């Protein structure tokens, strides 16, 4: 991520800067210590800096205190104390998010959920499990794997990201094309509201009666409350999986192959695309012997053996017809795992070919892949910045990485502009400003370009119903405060929230 980090001194006005640390009153700190214990109440300046940003390190702000509760009761205590003290609250998992969603509000009470990592219940007969929010995504599948089950959502950061963070952002992953996003696998959850009340939403059934409040909370980016337990749907492992890797002269042929495969009626478990820059980076990180061609596809099909053999054969044929230069089928599970390691390491691997980069996350109709990638290439040529593309091609979820060098004056600002223009390209083609990374602080300014005022007000009504004081994760997602922000209450919004400015540094 970006290595260009600048701290704003109080009174500074640059739109990309943030205020310095704001102290929490000693008597409030004493109450927090009583709630979670001395070592789980972090308030020293040097320690607080660890929590200044999430994975999008170009945004930074210092919390007033970091609290590490170990139970729902401790979360409730922290929320009540923060509410009485007038402190905004930001929940945090592993901090791997890529939109500034877990960015602290200066002086806030940041509630880290990493200690809440128990697997509470597994019911194989009814195919569900209950976990705490700090459980690592990949550990869910590791826990139930010996019994022939797995958890489908698989973000590239799944070895470090938490289920709680996945719920906040409605995370997806390579296999979301066939199996859906986090929201499709959360059956219920326990939610702590701003007044400290605890509510159980949904439950271990596929369709609970009443309003789908669980679906409302999933993807709400921590603005409605704090989730302290999640009931997950787990799946039987498929009988078979077939994988192939195909290379193409350019992203045009690769995009056409994706469209042809989906149009044929095949629903791949995953179909991922990488362009030349992404391939080069993945090779540098993993040692894969991939050729440095214009584009590559990595595809999985799964299900019964006969179905896998048939659909894989058809997909390979369609890829060749679209102009594939080469098709490789892994010889064993180890080679397949290495191929997927190359894809999943692509974001981090780009750091090997560029000093700095910005990650974006837009969505387009998959039929427009070739045209949109052509526009992105033209934009890169006009601005002189390289853009690496690695994304979930099956559902049109782009992940362009804008490469730059923060040491060159003006280049970081140019990278921001290119990143924003890519989102506008997605909107022009009927897409969205985010597919799975969330809006957070990064993309809040673009919400008004995608939604009307009436749309945003309707979203605001929903937020007001859960959190009328806007205490949870203020200053995120919405470009300006709306509706409930004008209502009287104990919580006083921070100036950065009132200005609607993003906290980029």
Answer yes or no: is 125 within a domain: yes
Identify each DSSP E strand in 280-386 by its residue range: 295-303, 326-328, 356-359, 362-363
- What does the alpha-carbon distance between residue 179 and residue 166 come to, in Å, rounded to a whole number? 15
Q: Check whether residue 360 and residue 262 sit in a common domain.
A: yes
Q: Check whether residue 39 and residue 83 sit in a common domain.
A: yes
**What CATH number is associated with residue 30?**
3.30.43.10
**What CATH number is associated with residue 289?**
3.40.462.10
Q: Check whether residue 268 and residue 211 sit in a common domain.
A: no
Q: Check whether residue 60 and residue 128 sit in a common domain.
A: no
Q: Check whether residue 288 and residue 411 sit in a common domain.
A: yes
Answer yes or no: is 494 within a domain: no
Q: Domain containing 73: what range?
A: 26-112
Contact 205, 187 (CB under 8 A): yes
Residue of 246, 274, 267, 100 whose CA lies nearest to 179: 267
> What pLDDT tens digit does each residue of the chain (505 aa) get?
333 332 323 222 233 445 556 789 999 999 999 999 999 999 999 999 999 999 887 789 999 999 999 999 999 999 999 999 999 999 999 999 999 999 999 999 999 999 999 999 999 999 999 999 999 999 999 999 999 999 999 998 999 999 999 999 999 999 999 999 999 999 999 999 999 999 999 999 877 788 999 999 999 999 999 999 999 999 999 999 999 999 999 999 998 999 899 999 999 999 999 999 999 999 888 888 999 999 999 999 999 999 999 999 999 999 999 999 999 999 999 999 999 998 888 888 888 889 999 989 999 998 898 899 999 999 999 999 999 999 899 889 999 999 999 999 999 999 999 999 999 999 999 999 999 999 999 999 999 999 999 999 999 999 999 999 999 999 999 986 655 644 434 444 444 343 333 333 3
Report the DSSP pairing between strands 89-92 and 109-112.
parallel
Sign of CA dihedral 248, 252, 254, 256: negative
Is residue 116 exposed (0-12), middle (13-18) or buried (19+ Cβ within 10 Å)? buried
Contact 109, 63 (CB under 8 A): yes
Final residue before a domain boundary, out of 236, 256, 274:
236
Q: Check whether residue 250 and residue 347 sit in a common domain.
A: yes
DSSP states of 213-254 as a string? HHHHHTTSTTSS-EEEEEEEE-EEPPSEEEEEEEEESSHHHH
What are the backbone angles phi and psi of residue 258, rounded to the nearest 5°?
-60, -50
Q: Check whether residue 190 and residue 72 sit in a common domain.
A: no
Q: Which residues contact 304 (CB under 8 A, 6 or more apart)?
A: 238, 239, 240
Final residue before a domain boundary, out of 417, 439, 461:
439
**What CATH number is associated with residue 213?**
3.30.465.10
- What does the alpha-carbon distance between residue 469 and residue 265 come to, in Å, rounded to a whole number? 48
Count of the separate structural domains present in the chain: 3
Contact 86, 129 (CB under 8 A): no
Q: Check whether residue 366 and residue 428 sit in a common domain.
A: yes
Contact 395, 367 (CB under 8 A): no
């Amino acid at each position: 991520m970006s290595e260009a980090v600048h701290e704003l001194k109080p009174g500074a006005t640059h739109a990309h800067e943030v205020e310095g640390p704001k102290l929490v009153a000693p008597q409030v700190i004493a109450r927090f210590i009583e709630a979670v214990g001395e070592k789980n109440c972090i308030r020293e300046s040097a320690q607080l800096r660890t929590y200044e940003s999430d994975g999008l390190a170009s945004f930074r702000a210092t919390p007033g205190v970091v609290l590490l509760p170990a139970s729902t009761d401790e979360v409730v205590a922290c929320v009540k104390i923060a509410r009485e003290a007038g402190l905004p609250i930001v929940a945090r998992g592993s901090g791997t998010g890529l939109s500034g969603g877990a960015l602290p509000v200066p002086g806030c009470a940041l509630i880290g959920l990493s200690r809440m990592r128990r697997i509470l219940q597994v019911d194989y007969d009814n195919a569900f499990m209950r976990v705490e929010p700090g459980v690592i995504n990949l550990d869910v599948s590791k826990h139930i794997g010996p019994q022939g089950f797995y958890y489908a959502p698989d973000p590239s950061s799944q070895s470090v990201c938490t289920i709680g963070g996945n719920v906040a952002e409605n995370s997806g992953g390579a296999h979301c094309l066939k199996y859906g996003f986090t929201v499709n696998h959360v059956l219920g959850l326990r939610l702590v509201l701003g007044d400290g009340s605890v509510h159980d939403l949904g439950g271990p059934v596929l369709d609970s009666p009443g309003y789908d409040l669980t679906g409302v909370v999933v993807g709400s980016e921590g603005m409605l409350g704090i989730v302290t337990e999640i009931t997950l749907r787990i799946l039987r492992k498929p009988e078979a999986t077939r994988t192939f890797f195909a290379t193409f002269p350019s992203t045009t042929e690769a995009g056409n192959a994706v469209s042809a495969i989906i149009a044929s009626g095949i629903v791949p478990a995953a179909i991922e695309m990488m362009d030349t820059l992404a391939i080069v980076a993945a090779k540098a990180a993993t040692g894969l012997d991939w050729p440095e061609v214009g584009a590559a596809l990595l595809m999985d099909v799964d299900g019964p053996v006969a179905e896998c053999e048939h659909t894989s054969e058809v997909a390979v044929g369609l890829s060749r017809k679209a102009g594939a230069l080469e098709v490789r089928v892994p010889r064993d599970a180890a080679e397949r795992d290495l191929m997927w390691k190359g894809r999943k390491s692509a974001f981090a691997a780009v750091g090997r070919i560029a000093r700095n980069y910005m990650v974006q996350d837009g969505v387009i109709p998959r039929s427009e892949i070739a045209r949109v990638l052509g526009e992105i290439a033209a934009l890169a040529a006009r601005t002189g910045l390289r853009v690496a593309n690695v994304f979930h091609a099956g559902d049109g979820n782009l992940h362009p990485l804008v490469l730059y060098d923060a040491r060159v004056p003006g280049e970081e600002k140019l990278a921001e502009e290119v990143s924003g223009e890519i989102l506008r390209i997605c909107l022009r083609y009927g897409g969205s400003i985010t597919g799975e990374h969330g809006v957070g602080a990064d993309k809040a300014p673009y919400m008004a370009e995608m939604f009307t005022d009436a749309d945003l007000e309707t979203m605001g009504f929903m937020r007001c119903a859960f959190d009328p004081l806007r205490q949870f994760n203020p200053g995120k997602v919405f470009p300006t405060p709306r509706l409930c922000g004008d209502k009287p209450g104990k919580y006083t919004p921070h100036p950065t929230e009132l200005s609607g400015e993003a906290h980029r540094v």
